[in-house]
């Protein structure tokens, strides 16, 4: 997990690896020091305070490119947005995080990434892309997390009982007993629940990672999205079966190979068979199929379909292709099937994306 460096203290190393301790209380302190928005990029917080910058440079757990932002939405609500790729000599090395969430409800919503998390009751939970969990514990180590991948797309929310009591006044019957204890301020409450992201949850996570609003009302928008996401998680708690444990183990080399497989799919519009892709990245077919789903929350076929639909969307939007050609690029033999898949993905027909159609919807004269 990418976090503010001065909130993570190095407390040990293993062979080729690193261990860090992370406290949510320290994160909140950093947010107060950095202001309303502590933005993390490449391991630093953008701040004009030289003392703060000096503190932040003392520990840089990993060299990363991408987004990592901490927002203190209120005194009892934290939001961490992370979308980054580890780089450099430490990429792929073992990394362990010991997370102290005492006094907080810790919610983690993951689009990409793979970890093995140890809870205070001694259970191990291997969680990949398309998963979420809630956790709270009176123990100093709420979670001990081993990070198994270099790419990370995650939204983390942490709130105190006062936020739950004020903003999440759900009927008692809607909350598990452990959550009711947390809401009432019981310092001994201990709870862990893991499951799969729903489509609505995934949509909310993407909205938080790429907010549609950048004006001064942005914090209000982010807070509303956070409340929506927490409510969706509470709704999911009513489901009887939590996520099953991972069907296979992945090494660091395996996760690097899976990330390479995704890069291949990102740059390829031609059909790619599972066997071809497995040979190219050096994995067997089973590990590629199961590992890709575990890491990225989608099958190889589903992911590549979305990549090709995105390519078709861009082509249609720039008027560089007909609907028929865009359908072929997306791997569909007929326009009707392409239109159904396109509408399910984007909420509109392929013809609606073309500039002339967009202009007509806006009332522009036809050319």
Query: What residues have CB less than 8 Å from 303, skipping those under 6 apart?
Result: 262, 265, 292, 296
Contact 10, 19 (CB under 8 A): yes
Kindly state the DSSP code that residue 245 receives in the 8-state scheme.
P
**Going edge to edge, which strands form the sheet with 191-196?**
44-45, 37-41, 63-74, 77-87, 151-159, 105-112, 131-136, 191-196
From residue 279, how far is each of 173, 256, 264, 284 by CA, in Å? 52, 14, 12, 7
Q: What is the pLDDT of residues 67-101, one digit of tens each?
A: 777 888 888 999 988 887 766 544 445 578 889 99
Query: What's the rounded Cα separation, in Å, for the pair 81 and 9?
Result: 20
Q: What is the mean pLDDT of residues 184-205?
A: 89
Where does the chain have alpha helices with state H?
24-34, 50-57, 161-167, 177-183, 199-209, 218-236, 252-266, 274-281, 285-296, 300-317, 323-329, 335-346, 350-353, 355-361
From residue 195, how far is each of 45, 68, 70 by CA, in Å? 32, 24, 25
Helix, strand and coil in the chain, % to nearest 5: 40, 25, 35
Contact 61, 95 (CB under 8 A): yes
pLDDT at 238: 75
Q: What is the pLDDT of residues 123-155, one digit of tens each?
A: 888 888 889 999 999 988 899 988 888 788 899
Query: What's the rounded Cα separation, in Å, for the pair 310 and 317?
Result: 10
pLDDT at 88: 53
Instruction: Map out the domains of the chain with their CATH numbers.
Output: 5-236 (2.60.120.10), 252-358 (1.10.10.60)
Mean of pLDDT over the chain: 77
pLDDT above 50: residue 185 = yes
Query: What's the rounded Cα separation, in Å, for the pair 239 and 132?
Result: 13
Q: What is the pLDDT of residues 249-305, one digit of tens each?
A: 777 788 888 888 988 888 887 778 888 899 899 988 888 888 888 888 788 888 888
């Amino acid at each position: 997990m990418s976090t503010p460096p001065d909130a993570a203290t190095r407390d040990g190393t293993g062979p080729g690896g690193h261990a860090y301790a992370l406290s949510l209380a320290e994160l909140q302190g950093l947010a107060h020091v950095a202001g309303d928005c502590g933005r993390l990029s490449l391991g630093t917080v953008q701040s004009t305070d030289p003392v703060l910058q000096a503190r932040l440079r003392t520990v840089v757990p990993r060299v990363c490119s991408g987004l990592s932002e901490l927002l203190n939405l209120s005194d009892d609500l934290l939001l961490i947005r992370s979308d980054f790729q580890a780089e450099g000599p430490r990429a792929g090395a073992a990394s362990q995080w010991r997370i102290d969430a005492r006094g907080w409800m810790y919610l983690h919503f993951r689009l990409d990434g793979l970890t093995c998390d140890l809870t205070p009751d001694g259970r191990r939970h291997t969680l990949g892309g398309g998963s979420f969990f809630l956790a709270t514990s009176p123990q100093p180590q709420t979670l001990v997390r081993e990070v198994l991948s270099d790419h990370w797309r995650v939204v983390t929310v942490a709130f105190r009982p006062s936020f739950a009591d004020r903003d999440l006044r759900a009927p008692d019957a809607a909350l598990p007993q452990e959550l009711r204890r947390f809401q009432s301020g019981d310092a001994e409450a201990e709870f862990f629940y893991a499951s799969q992201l729903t489509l609505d949850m995934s949509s909310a996570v993407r909205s938080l990672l790429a907010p549609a609003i950048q004006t001064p009302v942005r914090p209000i928008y982010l807070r509303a999205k956070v409340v929506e996401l927490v409510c969706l998680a509470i709704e999911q708690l009513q489901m009887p079966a939590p996520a099953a444990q991972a069907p296979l183990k992945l090494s660091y080399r395996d996760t690097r190979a899976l990330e390479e497989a995704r890069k291949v799919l990102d740059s390829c519009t031609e059909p790619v068979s599972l066997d071809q892709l497995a040979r190219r990245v050096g994995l067997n077919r089973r590990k590629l199929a199961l590992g890709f789903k575990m890491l990225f929350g989608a099958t190889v076929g589903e992911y590549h379909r979305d990549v090709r639909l995105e390519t078709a969307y861009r082509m249609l939007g720039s008027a560089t292709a007909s609907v028929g050609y865009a359908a072929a690029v997306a791997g569909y033999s007929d326009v009707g099937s392409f239109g159904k898949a396109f509408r399910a993905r984007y909420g509109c027909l392929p013809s609606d994306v073309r500039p002339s159609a967009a202009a007509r919807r806006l009332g522009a004269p036809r050319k």
